[in-house]
Structure 1
Amino acid sequence: MKQLLDRFERGSAVVGTCRWLRSSAKTADQEATHPRHEVSLRFGNRLDRLAFSFEWRVAALGLRRLVYKYDCRAVLAVFPDLPMVRAAIAVAEACRIPFLVHLHDTVEESLSGTPYERMAREVESAIFRRPWQALPLTGGLKEHYGRKYGTDFIELPHPYSEDLPVSFDPTPFAATACWSGNVYAINDRSFVRLFDACRMAGARFVVTSPMPKASFYRFVDGEFDVRFLARRSEYLEFLRRQAVHVVGLNWPDETSVHRDELATIFPTKMPEYLASGVPVLVHCPQEYYLARFIRERGCGLVVSDRDPGAIETVMQRLMRETGLRAELGRRALEVVRDRFCVTRVVSVLARHLDDVQRSLRGA
């Protein structure tokens, strides 16, 4: 979201973003007719231990002061920060300004069976009271809520801000399979199968994550590398030097995570994987949105067989067939250019905010 707002079109609207960061309020452009302000709040550990139901009320107090101080015209909140979304809704309604929620996950489904299920249900009801208030991050979420509420929504994907390469060398630097991000209930079983397939292929398994290497030994036993690349430029360069990027999601019978949550997931770093020009291997059920996205656009290969041997066969193809690597890389760059380019995403948000403002003025 910060990437998106840093490029926000001048004069379109004032937007407050609610996120769990250090307290600050920053003016993006003092000379703009309607500057946007980034509003961030963070609770300390002691406050985090208090009852969950009080957190959003405390957040709302700080957010309301900032809305008045900067004369915000709209509030844009980011889910899955549930307390901040609840605070944003309360403040926006009290101040009689519109709120929008950028949905990175399902709301009710992602918190099903947790102590926060009731609040999630209430928050989802408030978000979808007016369809324009919801901005799904992915086409999977857009489809899910379209079926659930019988209406269409504006998809607002993660933007890719850097220039795309004009050309690239499809020859891999080394035989590596790169997994980016942490391992938990949505992907732990698939992670193990991808690791096993990589070992069968004689390739080096590489993980990019801020977590210590020891934390991954709970899932796999064998040699692998863990790299943490704090600088974005270093991370992007590292992605370009891999042979294959691997992405996995668990099957519904392998986890307690709600099926609709699994079926709508689209990794937030997928634009970076695709923009690297390196082939992407996706391992998940074929009906998941992630699998359909890759398959329909021809920008990677999907393996929906849970046999590590089947994954290894496809991994070998991606590492050895230069023509296939070149074609997948070309299509991947086209997808990033057409769908995730930051100028396109900014224009989608700006146009939607302008439409909302005009609609409210005419109401």
Structure 2
Amino acid sequence: MNLVSVEANRGPDQRKTLAPLQVAIVTTAAPPSANGQARVLGQIVAPTMFAPPMFLTDQMNIVELDQAHYGSHFELSPPRFQLTTRKWGKLAGRFNHSGGLLRSVMVRAGEITRILHDGAVDVVVGCSGNPFDLPASFLAARRLRIPFVAYLFDDPVYQWERGIYRNIARVSEQIWSRGALRLIAPNEVLASDIRKRLPRADIHIVRNPAAVALNESPAKRPDANPARWRLLYTGSVYSAQASAFRNLVAALGALGGRFAIDIYTGQHGSELVTNELASPHVDVHPQAPHATAVALQQAADVLFLPLAFYSPIPEVIRSSAPAKLGEYLASGRPILVHAPAGSFITELIRNADAGLVVDTPDPRKLAEALNRIADDEVLRSRIVANALVLARQFSVERARADFGATIASVVRH
């Protein structure tokens, strides 16, 4: 096997031998799960490269253990967001929340330490996603004298709205980052934002991979002038996409029924979806299994990739790398991006000419882009071909190699 390996001497009677690396990963979402972070982790930590990983999480309820998976799971206790449920004044309330967060970090660090104490773990990987896992993973790794790597799926500071969480995350970052031998980010925009705050950080890019084959021979539309073009969106629908979806609904209405969109989401019953996006041109469905979602993507007329223009966390929107991006690129279908200028997905798609980009919150421009896609077969063929080329950057093989090289480098550190 092509193992990422390290010279290991794990016992007094053992000779120094080559052994696969053992990683412990602390995450809000462990694989197998439909969650984007879980899907990435499940793909990059492969049997061909690593010993069975140890996943530590406080959300075992979303782990689909009946599905095929690699590694073992350890449940962490749920965090306490405050010291007491008693009502306090403003100043005392801040202390109550701050103390609760600090207590949760220390408790979690102790749990991680106990779980890993007797294991032959080579590297601890702490993932972003909540205020606890990065600092707790760092503290546990330091106690155990194990290398620590921070995996930043989103900005660990600005993923929180202004207030106590962001303030604590900013302070926490200055602590755990000093012990992180490597930082992993899914794209260059997030890496640049982190480097401005942490100029000495050693940041490595590992793309969110797409575990799908390139659809290099997409089926042509049977009708050159269809009665209605079907857009598709698969994934979460919440504040991170809300304003972009509202613009699309307005554009679809202005186009008089030429276009409609199918939305497959776990938030199909939310107020945003059922009320604000209600339209005769919008069909909402429950979240589809991953394999079904990929098949739907490859059968759609146009794939819609939105990010919000008005958000309390614009920094996260700017650096967001949706897990579905690689799948969209590999689908063989034209992509329409509706997201703010300067964001990772707008610049990536525009620079590669891999889709049409509307980077202003203007329904009229969105409608114009939809008509261009429908009316120009040469345009569709060109952006699909370029998207397939770009999709190779998001291959599972490349992500596994990049992740494996990063982890191996800290063991040799």
TM over 0.5: yes
Structure 2 runs not aligned, ≥5 long:
6-18, 33-42, 62-76, 83-99
Greater share of helix: 1
Aligned to 1:317: 372
Aligned to 1:331: 386
**C-alpha deviations, 1:116-157, integer Å up to 9, x for none?**
223311332134326742111222101212333335621111
Q: Which runs of 4+ in 1 moved over 4 A?
A: 7-12, 21-24, 31-34, 43-50
The amino acid of 2:210's aligned partner reads Y
Change (3 A) 1:55 1:192: same
The amino acid of 1:205's aligned partner reads I
Would the aligned equivalents of 1:23 and 1:40 in 2 still touch at CA under 8 Å? no
What CA distance in whole angstroms lies between the structure 2 residues aligned with 1:161 and 1:285? 27
Structure 1 runs not aligned, ≥5 long:
1-6
The normalised TM-score by structure 2 is: 0.75
Over the residues paired in the alignment, what is the CA RMSD in angstroms? Answer: 3.0
Would the aligned equivalents of 1:206 and 1:225 in 2 still touch at CA under 8 Å? yes
What CA distance in whole angstroms lies between the structure 2 residues aligned with 1:33 and 1:304? 40
**Equivalent position to 2:240, from 186, 197, 209:** 186
Deviation at 1:293, TM superposition (A): 0.8
**Equivalent position to 1:204, from 260, 264, 273:** 260
What CA distance in whole angstroms lies between the structure 2 residues aligned with 1:12 and 1:147? 35
Would the aligned equivalents of 1:12 and 1:354 in 2 still touch at CA under 8 Å? no
Would the aligned equivalents of 1:102 and 1:134 in 2 still touch at CA under 8 Å? yes
Aligned to 2:27: 19
**C-alpha deviations, 1:10-46, integer Å up to 9, x for none?**
755211111235899xxx99x9896242323226999
Change (3 A) 1:303 1:36: same
The amino acid of 1:88's aligned partner reads S
Deviation at 1:314, TM superposition (A): 0.6
Deviation at 1:161, TM superposition (A): 2.1
**1:195-344 to 2 correspondence within 5 Å?**
195-201=249-255, 202-213=258-269, 215=271, 216-223=273-280, 224-251=282-309, 254-257=310-313, 259-337=314-392, 339-344=393-398
Q: Secondary structure at the match of 2:322?
A: coil
Residue identity over aligned pairs, in percent, reads 20
**1:347-358 to 2 correspondence within 5 Å?**
347-358=401-412
The amino acid of 2:21's aligned partner reads A
Name the stretch that deviates more: 89-98 or 158-167: 158-167
What CA distance in whole angstroms lies between the structure 2 residues aligned with 1:172 and 1:9? 48
The amino acid of 2:58's aligned partner reads R
**1:38-49 to 2 correspondence within 5 Å?**
38-42=54-58, 47-48=78-79
Deviation at 1:110, TM superposition (A): 2.0
* In the alignment, structure 1 residue 104 sits paired with structure 2 residue 120: no
* In the alignment, structure 1 residue 61 sits paired with structure 2 residue 110: yes
Q: Secondary structure at the match of 2:389?
A: helix
The normalised TM-score by structure 1 is: 0.84
What CA distance in whole angstroms lies between the structure 1 residues aligned with 2:105 and 2:320? 26
What CA distance in whole angstroms lies between the structure 2 residues aligned with 1:50 and 1:132? 29
What CA distance in whole angstroms lies between the structure 1 residues aligned with 2:153 and 2:30? 21
What CA distance in whole angstroms lies between the structure 1 residues aligned with 2:136 and 2:298? 40
What CA distance in whole angstroms lies between the structure 1 residues aligned with 2:339 and 2:170? 28
Would the aligned equivalents of 2:305 and 2:337 in 1 still touch at CA under 8 Å? yes
The amino acid of 2:131's aligned partner reads L
Q: Bigger radius of gyration, 1 or 2?
A: 2
Q: Secondary structure at the match of 1:165?
A: coil
Would the aligned equivalents of 1:170 and 1:278 in 2 still touch at CA under 8 Å? no
* In the alignment, structure 1 residue 124 sits paired with structure 2 residue 176: no
Change (3 A) 1:230 1:189: closer
The amino acid of 2:150's aligned partner reads V
Aligned to 1:4: none
Aligned to 1:3: none
What CA distance in whole angstroms lies between the structure 2 residues aligned with 1:22 and 1:134? 19
Aligned length: 345
Would the aligned equivalents of 1:245 and 1:281 in 2 still touch at CA under 8 Å? yes
What CA distance in whole angstroms lies between the structure 1 residues aligned with 2:404 and 2:412? 12
Aligned to 2:137: 88
Q: Secondary structure at the match of 1:70?
A: coil
